[in-house]
Amino acid sequence: MARLAGKRALITGGTSGIGLETAKQFIAEGASVVVTGVTPANVERARVELGDGAEVLAVDALDLEAQRALARTVQERFGELDIAFLNAGVSDWRPMEAHDEASFDRLFAINVKSVFFLMQALVPVLANPSSVVLNSSASAHTAAATANAYAATKGAVSALMRSWNADLLHSHGVRVNAVSPGPIATPLYDGIPAEHHESVMEGIRAGIPLGRLGEAVEIAKAVVYLASDESRFTVGADLVVDGGVSIF
């Protein structure tokens, strides 16, 4: 029996990396999936890779009205949603003195503000029961050099995850959990400014006890568990999947 048979799922940031791999796993497990992305070439590539199993929409996380429109689109398509994986995010690793107001605000707008307002718009669409999974980061639980502002956005995501259970578990039957990946080989690191790229990546690799970056599928499998009924007694968990980064 497929683990997500008959489930209706939304994945934000499903056009690349962890989100794209999770969309493939969800489809393989029997779910119907809507995914979002923003870069036209990635949206197009995801349409080809996911085929009929998914609807791929261009929705910019920086546009709050587009978040509300996304909730309406999902409602029109599915009626109700059983699973939401709020995963879209960007990284911007640099020494703290290299941040300015614009770089700080962009990180918080995409990684925190858009997650907050999309979740607000999704509340009336979420089925009872349903499972929401947020993509936080091991950076929220560790002290990695140059993570600073990015780590703060993920600390906020983990805090929202815990807090939303108080808002939604009893009243709406919504379980909220998070996955906190360690360094995973995805295009996320393309966003590191060129002048810091090599030193940042060197620092990241050196800090992974398993000796390698993780693969997107190693996070997607954890998300399948949190999204499925197998985790029905799991509420407010922040599942760290990081090759040991956060315990050494």
User: Any residues with CB less than 8 A from the CB of 199 and at least 6 apart, and which?
Assistant: none
* Catalytically annotated residue among 150, 151, 207, 222: 150
- Is residue 13 involved in binding ligand NAP (CB under 6 A)? yes
Which residue stretch of 54-62, 67-75, 165-173, 231-239 sits at the interface with ligand NAP (rule: CB under 6 A)? Answer: 54-62
The DSSP result for 61-91, as a single string, is: TT-HHHHHHHHHHHHHHHSSEEEEEE-----
Q: Counting contacts by CB under 6 A, is residue 207 touching ligand NAP?
A: no
Burial class (CB within 10 angstroms; exposed 0-12, middle 13-18, buried 19+) of 148: buried
Query: Using CB atoms within 10 A of its CB, is residue 136 exposed (0-12), middle (13-18) or buried (19+)?
Result: buried
Near ligand NAP by CB under 6 A: residue from 79, 129, 187, 193? 187
Cβ proximity to ligand NAP: between 169 and 217 the closer is 217
| Residue 133 interacting with ligand NAP (CB under 6 A) | no
User: Cβ of residue 161: shortest distance to ligand NAP, in angstroms?
Assistant: 13
Which amino acid, residue 7? Answer: K
Q: Which residues are catalytic?
A: 150
- Binding residues (CB under 6 A) for ligand NAP: these are 13-19, 36-39, 42-43, 59-62, 87-91, 110, 135, 137, 181, 183-184, 186-188
